[in-house]
Amino acid sequence: MNQGQKIRLRLLSNVVILFLLIAFSWWTVLLFTTNRDAFYAKRDLMKIGMVAQGLIGKGNEAAFWEMPAYQKLYREYRRQEWMIVSEATFFVISLVIGVYLINRSYNREVDAAGQSRNFLLSITHELKSPIASIRLVLETFMKRQLSPEMVEKLGKNALKETERLNDLVNDLLLSAKLDTAYRPHLQEMDISEFIADLVVTMQAKYPKGDFSFTSTLEDPIVRADEMGLSSMILNLLENGVKYSAGPPKIGVKLTAENSNVIISIADQGIGIEDKEKKRIFKKFYRVGSEDTRRTKGTGLGLFIVSELIRAHEGRIEVVDNKPQGTIFRITLPTNQYHD
């Protein structure tokens, strides 16, 4: 469904909803009027009958208002008025709730369809690119006599593409596992040393980047899931590299706050708009369109991060880094990590 069709469908649904509200409002007014006219007719008929029977004097309005029969008729009239109001209110509330639920479901379906399309486009590219590179290297080896230096260079490129393909498969498997039966496997570890090693690994992978790590923890020994923690940090570091306009500059800081471990990863990249900050953790969601996007990825990285943190009963926040960039702040409860 293209954008024009979406707009026409939304416009048509709004017109139908508006018509229903106007029609119901009109019928409500008519029902009020009919109920009032019926009350006036019954009142006048009752008054004429009482005057004819001599129960009240002609023109004696005050005596008529006090008659039990009139009081009963008036209470019935007011009861019917309140019934009309309550039924109208219930209908309007039901209609509003129904429209809200329908629109929410519609938006979710549209988002899911868009994310599935983006995922298929991105995963196709992410799979074909390393496979094509590895195939080209193998064909070059078979058809040409290469110098040892060239063999080493092409071999490193092939290994890099193999690692990229392996990371992609691992992400797909981990995302599937997170949907079903993932449980963190806790073990004692020095979290400061562990994260410092990951930062060193990223510095070696991106030698032009500037990666730094600081820690103020007095007791860095915690119980944590090594694989899960590694995936959290590496995905966020890779995300910072991916969305940096130039050579990445990323700082990792480890602190303690209110018996919690705080891991802050700050980059100086292009930043994230406020409207996107709640969406970026959705499965397969990526900012922008796959048709025009230049950055690589499948939309699984931040989803994996958020699900791993949720499984560890932690939380993640996204805030702007001043003057530019983004800070991902992970809060992990120490009561479940430390004996």
pLDDT digits (tens, 9 = 90+) for 31-60: 888 989 998 899 888 888 888 887 877 777
3-state class of 257 per DSSP? strand
Express each pLDDT in 76-112 by its tens digit: 988 988 988 888 888 888 888 887 887 787 777 777 6
Contact status, residue 243 vs residue 269, Cβ threshold 8 Å: yes
Contact status, residue 213 vs residue 196, Cβ threshold 8 Å: yes
Q: Which residue has the tokens 């008529």?
A: 64
Q: Specify the pTM.
A: 0.58
Contact status, residue 206 vs residue 248, Cβ threshold 8 Å: yes
Residue 181 is predicted with a pLDDT of: 67
Q: Which residue has the higher pLDDT, 109 or 122?
A: 109
Strand bridging mode 186-190 / 249-257: unpaired
| Spatial CB neighbours of 223, under 8 Å, sequence gap ≥ 6 | 186, 187, 188, 189, 336, 337, 338, 339
* % of the chain at pLDDT higher than 90: 11
Residue 114 is predicted with a pLDDT of: 66
Q: Which residue has the tokens 């329908």?
A: 102
